[in-house]
């Protein structure tokens, strides 16, 4: 465990000097890859945030990239210079063989210091813990809401104790729901307890409305009042509050910056948000060769790229030579490494 002061963050986040799980420290640096191993799950939590695209499927995603062959996981981790991986789902223990294969591959490739944590809504058995030993560093238990008031009598406590004896870092990670203070008796048995701000999503919207919950603001998916439900629990120094805003403003941005620094072309501009900006020229029919010649003769070799149907270049060069370059012209801002387009501005 590492003591860590949260910041620089929006004012409402600068509230705790906390003992963060090692996995969370890497997350703050944007250095944690998210490895989604299955959308299957034996539970049906009303607040489940899984998208309909992922729920119930066995598609694997490394960050947002769908994985066809395991070696792609290493490529995604390399692209962001990952220092660790968070294994999530669905329920990862439903495909433990696959999880172990991926963890072994990551540890072999990046070395034993590549920190790996795993979420599970099951209480791992002794046999499962033994299989994970040496390949996983940290286990985050997600006991369902209905067993919070009897946590000390559940298999989760037995698993937590056994995992600790076996050398794992052990914690609980749950969404902010009414009744969080029921987990206070569990704290002596844990290294940390993370509370995720409850978030509105496409698949849980009906259940949220049914309970009368509303969004806290128009910028994030956070539910109004969720922080209040966590207030009593968050007085304890093993407890860390992870806000919806943090996930967007720090975790994602820092991860994007790492990917951009590794993958941006010389003419891509990297923004403070970790997105990249560049110009695109789509030539009119029959003019592609002339435009390619223009670029070769007038521009520095590393300030443009011939992409086949279009030419990508520094956005400011496209703007500068706009009158001399016929065709469709626009400036793109997108996530790095061929990621999601954020904005497209015609010139
Ligand atoms: S345990 Fe997790 S993945 Fe499974 S239903 Fe609950 S929230 Fe969804």
Among 33-37, 189-193, 293-297, name the one with the lowest average pLDDT: 293-297
pLDDT digits (tens, 9 = 90+) for 49-81: 999 999 999 999 999 899 999 999 999 999 999
pLDDT digits (tens, 9 = 90+) for 269-291: 999 999 999 999 999 888 888 88
pLDDT digits (tens, 9 = 90+) for 70-114: 999 999 999 999 999 999 999 999 999 999 999 999 999 999 999
Ligand 1 geometric centre to CA of 122 (Å):
10
Report which protein residue has its CA nearest ligand 1's atom 8. 48
pLDDT given at position 31:
95
Question: pTM here?
Answer: 0.86
pLDDT given at position 288:
86
Mean pLDDT along residues 35-58: 94
Q: How far apart are the first and last CA of the chain?
A: 51
Q: Among the atoms of ligand 1, which is closest to the Cα of residue 119?
A: 2
Phi, psi for 62 (deg, rounded to 5): -105, 115
Q: For residue 192, list its beta bridge partners.
A: 171
Ligand 1 geometric centre to CA of 55 (Å):
9
Q: How far apart are CA 256 and CA 94, in angstroms?
A: 30
pLDDT given at position 219:
77
Report which protein residue has its CA nearest ligand 1's atom 7. 48
Q: How far apart are CA 123 and CA 303, in angstroms?
A: 54
Ligand 1 geometric centre to CA of 39 (Å):
9
Q: Among the atoms of ligand 1, which is closest to the Cα of residue 42?
A: 4
β-bridge pairing 65-67 and 269-270: unpaired
Ligand 1: list residues with CB < 6 Å. Answer: 41, 43-45, 48, 50, 89-91, 121, 142
pLDDT given at position 267:
96
Q: Say what percent of the chain tops pLDDT 70.
A: 95
Report which protein residue has its CA nearest ligand 1's atom 6. 45
Report which protein residue has its CA nearest ligand 1's atom 3. 90
Q: Among the atoms of ligand 1, which is closest to the Cα of residue 44?
A: 5
Torsion angle defined by CA atoms of residues 105, 108, 111 and 113, in that order, rounded to the nearest 10 degrees: 50
pLDDT given at position 18:
61
Q: Among the atoms of ligand 1, which is closest to the Cα of residue 90?
A: 3
pLDDT digits (tens, 9 = 90+) for 242-261: 988 888 778 889 999 999 99
Task: Name the average pLDDT for the chain.
Answer: 91
Ligand 1 geometric centre to CA of 82 (Å):
26
Ligand 1 geometric centre to CA of 165 (Å):
27
Report which protein residue has its CA nearest ligand 1's atom 1. 121
Phi, psi for 100 (deg, rounded to 5): -65, -40
**Domains, the chain, with CATH or none:** 2-261 (3.80.30.10), 266-346 (3.30.70)
Mean pLDDT along residues 28-41: 95
3-class secondary structure, 92: helix
Ligand 1 geometric centre to CA of 249 (Å):
24
């Amino acid at each position: 465990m590492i003591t860590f002061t949260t910041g620089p963050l929006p004012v409402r986040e600068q509230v705790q000097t906390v003992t963060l799980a090692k996995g969370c420290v890497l997350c703050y640096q944007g250095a944690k890859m998210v490895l989604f191993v299955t959308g299957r799950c034996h539970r049906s939590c009303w607040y489940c945030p899984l998208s309909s695209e992922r729920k119930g499927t066995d598609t694997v995603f490394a960050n947002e990239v769908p994985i066809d062959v395991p070696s792609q996981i290493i490529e995604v981790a390399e692209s962001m210079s990952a220092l660790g991986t968070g294994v999530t789902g669905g329920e990862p223990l439903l495909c433990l063989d696959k999880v172990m294969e991926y963890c072994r591959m990551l540890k072999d490739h990046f070395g034993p210091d590549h920190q790996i944590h795993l979420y599970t809504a099951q209480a791992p058995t002794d046999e499962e813990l033994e299989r994970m030993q040496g390949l996983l560093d940290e286990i985050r238990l997600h006991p369902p809401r209905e067993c919070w008031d009897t946590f000390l009598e559940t298999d989760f406590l037995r698993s937590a104790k056994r995992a600790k004896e076996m050398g794992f870092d052990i914690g609980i990670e749950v969404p902010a729901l009414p009744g969080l203070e029921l987990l206070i008796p569990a704290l002596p048995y844990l290294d940390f307890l993370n509370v995720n701000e409850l978030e509105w999503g496409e698949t849980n919207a009906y259940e949220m409305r049914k309970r009368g919950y509303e969004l806290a603001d128009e910028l994030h998916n956070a539910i109004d009042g969720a922080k209040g439900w966590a207030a009593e629990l968050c007085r304890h120094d093993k407890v860390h509050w992870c806000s919806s805003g943090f996930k967007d403003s720090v975790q994602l941005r820092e991860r994007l910056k790492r990917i951009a620094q590794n993958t941006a072309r010389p003419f891509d501009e990297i923004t403070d948000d970790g997105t990249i900006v560049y110009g695109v020229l789509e030539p009119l029919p029959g003019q592609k060769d002339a435009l390619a010649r223009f670029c070769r003769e007038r521009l520095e070799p590393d300030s443009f790229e011939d992409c086949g149907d279009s030419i990508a270049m520094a956005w400011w060069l496209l703007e500068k030579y706009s009158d001399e370059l016929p065709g469709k012209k626009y400036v793109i801002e997108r996530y790095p490494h061929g990621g999601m387009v954020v904005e497209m501005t015609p010139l």
